[in-house]
Amino acid sequence: MICSRCIMDHSDPDLVLDANGMCNHCRRYDEQVRDHVRTGAEGRRQLDGHVTRITAAGLGKPYDCIIGVSGGVDSTFVAWKVKALGLRPLAVHLDNGWDSEIAISNIKTVLERMGIDLHTEVLDWEEFRDIQLAFLKASVPDAEIPSDHAIFACLYHTATRHGVTDVITGVNIRTETHMPAAWSQGHFDFGYIRDVQRQFGTRPIRHLPHYSFYEYLTAFRSTHQTLNILDYTDYSKSEALVLLEKDLGWRDYGGKHYESIYTRWYQGVYLPRKFGYDKRRSHLSSRICSGELTREFALEEIAKPPYAPPLQEEDMAYVAKKFGLTRDGLAALIAAPPRRFADFDSYEKRAARPWFKALRSGYQLAKRVVGAGPRG
């Protein structure tokens, strides 16, 4: 069965179709766009308010906001938009050892043309390789979680070091709403990463940027503000591609997040072969709902291989070599029985335990009592 509006199907084990054949992702898309996306005059008005606040908070500081850059289209457009709004960003890039040549070139070319400073956080490769390999050995679909987690932790920790309150991201509802939870979980959960590494890694985690349990619970709300700027603009990925190529010398890399060789292999080889998950299905579905693509075009695209089969085989050999595996050894990891986020310890599980709930309730009660103060 496939959704009557988008192209999501039961490769998402939690897919629910209504009486009209429309899926739960499309319904959530409509709700989130209604509640959170502001375009046109209203979007400009609200975005102007954010810019005024960010500018005021950054007075006297070298930078007034932090942005992440990967060399991809969304983050590059964010850099262009932030600069066009007159803000003074510090760009942060996480080098996890897998950047493609195109990604490196895009970052350098674009930031130099716009006069944006760059901080690159270079991960300890031996440690990070061991963590990534642990996730493959764990046989979970979340093999990109270590990178995603480190990226966001790095953004907020860099903001803290520079005394900056605002982190501006390229996360947006219109192109990312259809991602099933079963396909990827635990993005902010270092407890999950730590348990996978404990069971399948060979060394302790000492250097990976990560969220503490407190940071996980608060999402940095007490110290930082997050602005998903694309939700306040009339953002079209296809139009952004044209703008970036024409004005900034940006080069296309062939797929969403394919600026990373590992991500290209993970999305185009590992997930489809091991779990039957094709992330293009979710990306295309969101763009159908946003009006950028027709359903017919998306169905034609999803019928094609994720990327050229010869390059898939090259990537298999490259990934295996970089992990110190034979190609057959990597294929065996793909063939191993799958496991899930729920099979491991995590911050999420810790927060749900009765002792922690009781502790949190007691803390909140104490705050209310102290806040009430003495009565005379």
Look at residue 313 and tell me whether its pLDDT is greater than 70: yes
What pLDDT is attached to residue 288?
96
116, 127, 153 from 132: Cα distances, Å: 31, 9, 17
Q: Is the pLDDT of residue 213 over 90?
A: yes
Q: Mean pLDDT over residues 260-271, rounded?
A: 93
pLDDT one-digit tens code per residue, 11-38? 999 999 999 999 999 999 999 999 999 9
Given pLDDT bands bounded at 50, 70 and 90, which one contains residue 376? Answer: very low
pLDDT at site 373:
53
pLDDT at 302 over 80: yes
Residues 6+ positions from 204 with CB-CB distance below 8 Å: 197
Q: Of 173, 141, 142, 172, nearest to 26 (Cα)?
A: 173
Residue 262 has pLDDT above 50, yes or no: yes
Tens digits of residue pLDDT in 85-128? 999 999 999 999 998 888 899 999 999 999 999 999 999 999 99
Amino acid 357: pLDDT: 76
How does the average pLDDT of the chain come out, rounded?
92
Q: What is the pLDDT of residue 361?
A: 74
Percent above pLDDT 70 for the chain:
94
All structural domains of the chain: 41-343 (3.40.50.620)
Of 15, 16, 12, residue with least CA distance to 277: 12
Interval 32-46 mean pLDDT: 94
Helix-helix angle 73-84:237-248, to 10 degrees = 70
pLDDT at 369: 57
Element (H, E) at 247: helix 237-248
Confidence of residue 196 (pLDDT cuts 50, 70, 90): very high
pLDDT per residue as tens digits for the range 62-75: 999 999 999 888 99
Beta-carbon neighbour count of residue 193 at 10 Å?
A: 26
Average pLDDT over residues 202-223: 93
The predicted pLDDT at position 325 comes to: 97
pTM value is: 0.90
SS3 content of the chain, % helix, strand, coil (to 5): 55, 10, 35
